[in-house]
Structure 1
Amino acid sequence: MQLDAAARDRFAADLAALWPEAERGGRPLGLAVSGGPDSLALLLLAHAALPGGIAVASIDHGLRPEAAGEVALVERIAAERGVPFTPMRVTLMPGNVQAEARAARYRALARWAAEAALGAVATAHHADDQAETLLMRLNRGSGLAGLAGVRARTVLEGTELPLLRPLLGWRKAELGAIVAGEGLMAAQDPSNADPAFDRARLRARLAEADWLDPLRVAASAAHLAEGWQALEWYAELDWHEMVMRDAGDAPGFTYCANAPRIIGIETILRIIRELGGHATRSEAARAWERLWAGENASLGGVLAVPAVETVAKIGVLMRVWRFRPEPARSLN
């Protein structure tokens, strides 16, 4: 069955908004396709909108015996349409299963993108996914960075390659209808309905809440993402204007802390990274609170010491926080 031209054109417009023609350079778009209805719809839409311009990868996470068959399903569907296909299998590290699977999946996609000389990679996150993500994070008390939800365009970690989510304006039911209309039987991952997972429990409750519009919730996440992008821009200015690298051989930074708390937290995180450490946003928030109160703070192997001084370049009293690698602790 021929894919509906209106759906094809709608997808092409959504994709162009994230990945303009001028950026593509003739390179193919890589698709992460699991065999579920959402990602199969992504394959069908992209094949219709970019004939001869896509490649597909499918990943077996080694969690379910059915996964190998799902990879084979995607391979068959891609082959029927003349789309290059790459199967992959990943090994998960111990820990949170879903988080580890996600991390391993994106590492594998980054390797594949480099080997296949792709121009971008797309995943099939849609409006219902975005609504679930935002509501879960609201329930956890997430900050603005978390409430921004799944970004429509980011980069694959460790690369400069665009990572695209062109289906964030599409409902799950729409995508399922596209797959059914092509006469395809999508794979169903039982973990999507397993109440052991927070997302599955929330999904079941949302199905009962006919007053909640996932498209509107997803739009709110997009507005929050715009707000977060503005704050990232301000944090970049704060870094360049208010942070000074210390002179001499010893590593260290001096931060004239005059920005709002949410900006200061981002600047602290960047200082910690520059000094070779690692900290979470919540740890940086606690450090900001201690420093603002005039107390030392230690995080990510870095010691921060607060003071109030007249800053020469500004000529006024300001909070000045100095960051140095923590001294080695004595073994005695």
Structure 2
Amino acid sequence: MSPPAVPPASANKLNPPDPEWLERFAADFDGLCVSAFGGALADDARIALAVSGGADSMAMLLLAAAALPGRVVAATVDHGLRPEAAQEAAMVARVCALIGVPHATLSLAAPISGSNIQSQARAARYDALFAWMQQIDAAVLLTAHHADDQAETLLMRLNRAAGVAGLSGIRPVRFDSFPVLRPLLGWRREWLRMLTAASGAPWTEDPSNADPDHDRTRFRALLAGQKLLDPAALAQSAAHIAETNAALDAVVAQFWADRWSETGPQLRIGDLPREVQRRLVRRAIAETRDRHGIATPPFSSASNIESLLDALERGSGATQGGVMAVAESEFWTFRPAPPRRSH
């Protein structure tokens, strides 16, 4: 893709995106809606955008405003971590005013501190966005994750020995408090920068994107400094892995329906492939925790359960996530773990 030949934008007007780019964005957005909802959103559905002020999110703002006129609202989250953030949010607000998009600047419910700042900021950002969406009755949230983000994510997770679910990368559709759609996962970072520049819109550079203390920054530099790996191809591979993961989920759902018994409760899965066992056991643990209100220790669909699977395959058992799993004949049973004895 190449930027359209356009005259410079004025201070009071931005150049619209090229029609070819708009057509592609509309097609990508419609495809995600079909995937997420089985069809298009209602014509009066309000579409929320998370716009940080970076070139990628500004491109999404320009594309969505032009492709979905009158339906888009935008928000910028000020995490309270940098003094420049307020000015950056004000810049986004000015661009939104130029193109007729309502804008809100959101602050966090509580300050961020301590370790793993990026992870905390991400969770707090989504909390703030979802609370805002509820107030304005928005139907869906769009974020500006793109193909280069996807390539970086795939490499990071390969380096952490992730399984199929982790290697699926950034999901095009995610269901949380509200549906989250990522219509730019097939777009390269350089295309989005060209689009924003061609419009005449300003953008900001987050200094954390150049901080070598972050894994993503190092993998971004690795990709930028070589010509062997193609980020677009890596992103497409992540999409193929995501399809495989979805197919496995469907297979596992069928085995769950056939082999999970409330009596016990127990699973008959010793004869199944390890990956299917892994997913069924995680689901059995989650089901047992929910049923008995077990909140600690923490457990998630990404928890490592390899030692538990090894024990079950040996015909014994172990405890994970507050649940005791035991191999009994051809069945694996799941019960709340007994309380630990105090000494």
1:21-55 CA distance string (max 9 Å, x none): 94412212111000000000000000110011111
Q: Are 1:4 and 2:18 counterparts? A: yes
CA distance in 1, matches of 2:53, 2:115: 25
Do the aligned residues in 1 keep the contact of 2:30 with 2:40 (CA within 8 Å)? Answer: no
Q: Are 1:267 and 2:280 counterparts? A: yes
Between 118-127 and 33-42, report the one with greater CA deviation.
118-127
Q: Are 1:149 and 2:169 counterparts? A: yes
CA distance in 2, matches of 1:139, 1:222: 18
Match of 1:293 among 314, 332, 336: 314
CA distance in 1, matches of 2:208, 2:145: 16
Match of 2:325 among 297, 304, 326: 304
Do the aligned residues in 1 keep the contact of 2:16 with 2:62 (CA within 8 Å)? Answer: no
Do the aligned residues in 2 keep the contact of 1:58 with 1:87 (CA within 8 Å)? Answer: yes
Match of 2:332 among 321, 324, 327: 321
Structure 2 length as normaliser, TM-score?
0.87
1:262-281 CA distance string (max 9 Å, x none): 12222222222222244243
1:109-155 CA distance string (max 9 Å, x none): 22222222222111000011000000111111111111000011121
Q: Are 1:16 and 2:30 counterparts? A: yes
CA distance in 2, matches of 1:290, 1:61: 44
CA distance in 2, matches of 1:261, 1:44: 46
Which residue is equivalent to 2:259?
242
Which residue is equivalent to 1:27?
45
SS in 2 for 1:275: helix
**Structure 1 residue 326: deviation in Å?**
1.0
CA distance in 2, matches of 1:255, 1:46: 47
Percent identity, aligned pairs only, is 44
Do the aligned residues in 1 keep the contact of 2:266 with 2:333 (CA within 8 Å)? Answer: yes
- Aligned ranges 1:92-171 → 2 under 5 Å: 92=112, 94-156=114-176, 159=177, 161-171=178-188
Match of 2:83 among 65, 80, 87: 65
Q: Which one-letter code corresponds to 2:335 in the other structure?
A: R
Which residue is equivalent to 2:10?
none
Between 125-134 and 58-67, report the one with greater CA deviation.
58-67
CA distance in 1, matches of 2:335, 2:72: 48
Between 59-68 and 283-292, report the one with greater CA deviation.
283-292
Which residue is equivalent to 1:202?
219
**Structure 1 residue 282: deviation in Å?**
4.1
Between 55-64 and 282-291, report the one with greater CA deviation.
282-291
Which residue is equivalent to 1:212?
229
Q: Which one-letter code corresponds to 1:61 in the other structure?
A: H
**Structure 1 residue 219: deviation in Å?**
0.4
**Structure 1 residue 189: deviation in Å?**
0.3
Which structure 2 segments of 5+ residues have no match? 1-14
CA distance in 2, matches of 1:94, 1:114: 29
1:56-95 CA distance string (max 9 Å, x none): 0110111111111111111111122221112111233643
| Over 3 Å off, 4+ runs | 20-23
- Aligned ranges 1:24-63 → 2 under 5 Å: 24-25=41-42, 26-63=44-81
Which structure 1 segments of 5+ residues have no match? 247-251, 309-318
CA distance in 2, matches of 1:213, 1:121: 29
Relative to structure 1, is the Cα distance of residues 282 and 2 closer, same or farther in structure 2, using a 3 angstrom cutoff? closer
Q: Which has the higher contact order (CA 8 A, sep 6+)?
A: 2
**Structure 1 residue 324: deviation in Å?**
0.5
Between 277-286 and 187-196, report the one with greater CA deviation.
277-286
Question: Cα RMSD between the aligned structures?
Answer: 1.6
